[in-house]
Amino acid sequence: MIRVIQGDITKQAVDAIVNAANTSLLGGGGVDGAIHRAAGPDLVFECRMLHGCKTGDAKITKGYRLPAEHVIHAVGPVWRGGSHGEPNLLASCYRRALEIAAENNLTSIAFPNISTGIYGYPKDKAADVAIATVNQFLEQPSTIQEVTFVCFDMENLTLYQDRIHASQ
**Coil, strand, or helix at residue 19?**
strand
Residue 42 appears among annotated catalytic residues: no
CA–CA gap between residue 98 and residue 93 (Å, rounded) = 9
Residues in the chain: 168
Query: Is residue 31 within 8 Å of residue 19, measured between CB atoms?
Result: yes
> How far from 121 is each of 7, 30, 46, CA to CA, in Å?
20, 14, 28
Catalytic residue among 32, 57, 153, 162: 32
Which residues are part of the catalytic machinery? 32
